[in-house]
């Protein structure tokens, strides 16, 4: 699979070359340090895939996409900024990698590429590859939207899913958007090695639990990072002990 690296930082291109060496199916056929050089190279090289920085001197990675005649090669953005994730989603980028790129994250992006080339890609999100059952992995990133506000969040950074009627409030960092999905459907998508059901209305990321103490009627009360308190029902407390106890 022919690939071109487009980034104004030579060290960033060098690091990406090093990471891609572990993927022999990827052939790097060229590099460019800016949009002008890239537009000269791409018609001759006809790559299948572009690793593209966003902020470069002169014109941005989005300017490059706008100037390319269709059909476009697949685009994987590689940037130090997470603020452009929504716009990347809008131009149908295959994935959005944040610098410094980890080997695992790159591997997931290339797996997504393989799925895309097989005609099975889902273009409504920019997450990394999922398991066959449709469950996100802890290193995947998910696209969340509430009204005009959007976020691009690693699954492992979600602290709590909390039911509010037929909606679910998602707690991460200091944000708490309310999504138009039932808690049960969202629970099916998150990895059960991270998330545990606490009660009928809450599912918590166990890695954020800082303290657990006995509570009424055989339940448990957990203090979650940031000061949140989550009460485990008696039944879920028993499951929690069986799963995580020695």
Q: Look at the alpha carbons of 120, 124, 126, 132 in this order and tell me if their dihedral is positive or negative.
A: negative
Domains of the chain are 2-117 (3.40.50.2300), 141-244 (2.40.50.1020)
Look at the block and give the residue holding tokens 């066959």: 132
- The pLDDT assigned to 244 comes to 78
Q: Look at the alpha carbons of 135, 138, 141, 142 in this order and tell me if their dihedral is positive or negative.
A: positive
- The pLDDT assigned to 131 comes to 46
pTM: 0.54
Cβ contact 89:151 at 8 Å: no
- The pLDDT assigned to 134 comes to 62
- The pLDDT assigned to 143 comes to 84
Mean pLDDT by 10 residues, the chain (246 residues): 95 96 94 96 94 95 91 91 81 87 89 63 38 70 82 91 90 90 88 91 94 87 89 90 76
Instruction: Describe the chain by its helix, strand, coil percentages, rounded to 5.
Output: 30, 30, 40
């Amino acid at each position: 699979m022919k690939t071109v690296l487009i980034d104004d930082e030579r060290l960033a291109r060098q690091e990406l070359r090093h990471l891609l060496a572990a993927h022999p199916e990827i052939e790097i056929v060229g590099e460019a340090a800016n949009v002008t050089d890239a537009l000269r190279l791409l018609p001759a090289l006809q790559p299948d895939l572009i690793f593209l920085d966003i902020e470069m001197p002169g014109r941005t990675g989005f300017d490059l996409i706008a100037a390319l005649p269709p059909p476009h090669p697949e685009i994987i953005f590689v940037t130090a900024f997470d603020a452009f994730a929504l716009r990347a989603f809008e131009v149908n980028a295959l994935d959005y990698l944040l610098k410094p790129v980890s080997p695992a994250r790159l591997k997931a992006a290339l797996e997504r590429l393989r799925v895309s080339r097989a005609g099975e890609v889902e273009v409504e999100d920019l997450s990394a590859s999922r398991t066959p059952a449709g469950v996100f992995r802890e290193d995947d990133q998910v696209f969340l939207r509430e009204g005009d506000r959007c976020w691009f969040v690693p699954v492992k950074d979600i602290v709590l899913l909390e039911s509010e009627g037929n909606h679910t409030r998602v707690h991460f960092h200091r944000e708490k958007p309310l999504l138009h999905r039932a808690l049960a459907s969202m629970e099916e998508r998150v990895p059960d090695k991270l998330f545990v059901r606490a009660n009928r209305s809450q599912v918590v990321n166990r890695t954020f639990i800082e303290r657990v103490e006995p509570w009424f009627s055989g339940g448990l009360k957990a203090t979650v990072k940031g000061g949140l308190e989550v009460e485990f029902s008696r039944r879920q407390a028993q499951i929690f002990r069986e799963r995580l106890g020695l």
